[in-house]
């Protein structure tokens, strides 16, 4: 397995413009979505950096806030505050979810870094969120296609966890499912306590 980045996706440079950053990220999204595999994710993890994570998580938060704004029937003075809070929750939720997943992968003897995991997770979740938004609006078949996107995203996430943390398939699957099971158990407990109390 080569550690050299593939020649079809240009590297990001600190002297690049915003348009070259966007173009390069689009190439990386397309590469990850079209050719998912351990080799591709292993090459991409060498490109991970904190600035790339921050740029993408801000783009994800802005996109989700924009979709919320487009679904609202009217605009009021409270609306900008609501969208700002939504951005904060998206960013916080992303990092919290990834951190729990990271700790779980490390508990299964994973070796990757948190920045690598966040970067690769965003290479999956940002384009899939955009695709999800448009596919969900297709009449009659949108719901079924969205379900397929969810399954595809889950499969990509398992492959990504394997590549980042050098885990076998079963450990990567367990590291991916465990945070979800724990969150559902916590939510169920909170709902139960709310009903009982």
CA angle at 15 for the pair 11 and 21, rounded to the nearest 5° = 50
**Predicted confidence band at 4 (pLDDT cuts at 50, 70, 90)?**
very low
Mean pLDDT calculated for residue range 81-107 = 86
The answer, yes or no, to whether residue 3 has pLDDT greater than 80, is: no
Q: What pLDDT shows up at residue 7?
A: 45
The answer, yes or no, to whether residue 192 has pLDDT greater than 50, is: yes
The answer, yes or no, to whether residue 128 has pLDDT greater than 90, is: yes
Q: What pLDDT shows up at residue 12?
A: 54
Pair 101, 183: CB distance under 8 Å: no
Mean pLDDT calculated for residue range 89-110 = 89
Q: What pLDDT shows up at residue 108?
A: 92
The whole-chain average pLDDT of the chain stands at 83
Structure tokens, 20: 């070259």
**Predicted confidence band at 103 (pLDDT cuts at 50, 70, 90)?**
very high
Determine the Cα–Cα distance for residues 56 and 117; give it in Å rounded to an integer: 13
Pair 20, 26: CB distance under 8 Å: no
The answer, yes or no, to whether residue 175 has pLDDT greater than 60, is: yes
> What predicted TM-score, i.e. pTM, was given to this entire model?
0.80
Q: What pLDDT shows up at residue 89?
A: 84
Task: Determine what percent of the chain falls in helix, strand and coil, rounding each to the nearest 5.
Answer: 75, 0, 25
Q: How many CB atoms lie within 10 A of CB 36?
A: 18
**pLDDT one-digit tens code per residue, 15-70:** 567 778 888 889 999 999 988 889 999 999 999 889 989 999 999 988 888 787 76
**Predicted confidence band at 75 (pLDDT cuts at 50, 70, 90)?**
low
């Amino acid at each position: 397995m080569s550690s050299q980045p593939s020649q079809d996706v240009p590297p990001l440079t600190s002297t690049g413009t915003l348009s070259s950053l966007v173009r390069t990220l689009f190439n990386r999204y397309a590469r990850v979505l079209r050719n998912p595999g351990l080799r591709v994710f292993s090459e991409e993890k060498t490109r991970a950096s904190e600035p790339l994570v921050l740029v993408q998580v801000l783009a994800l938060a802005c996109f989700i806030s924009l979709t919320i704004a487009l679904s609202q029937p009217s605009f009021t003075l409270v609306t900008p505050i609501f969208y700002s809070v939504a951005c904060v929750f998206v960013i916080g939720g992303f990092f919290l979810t990834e951190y729990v997943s990271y700790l779980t992968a490390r508990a299964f003897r994973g070796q990757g870094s948190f920045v690598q995991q966040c970067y690769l997770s965003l290479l999956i979740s940002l384009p899939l969120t955009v695709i999800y938004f448009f596919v969900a609006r297709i009449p009659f078949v949108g719901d079924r296609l969205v379900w397929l996107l969810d399954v595809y995203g889950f499969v990509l996430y398992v492959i990504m966890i394997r590549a980042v943390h050098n885990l076998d398939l079963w450990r990567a699957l367990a590291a991916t499912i465990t945070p979800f099971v724990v969150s559902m158990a916590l939510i169920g407990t909170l709902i139960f306590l709310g009903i009982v109390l």
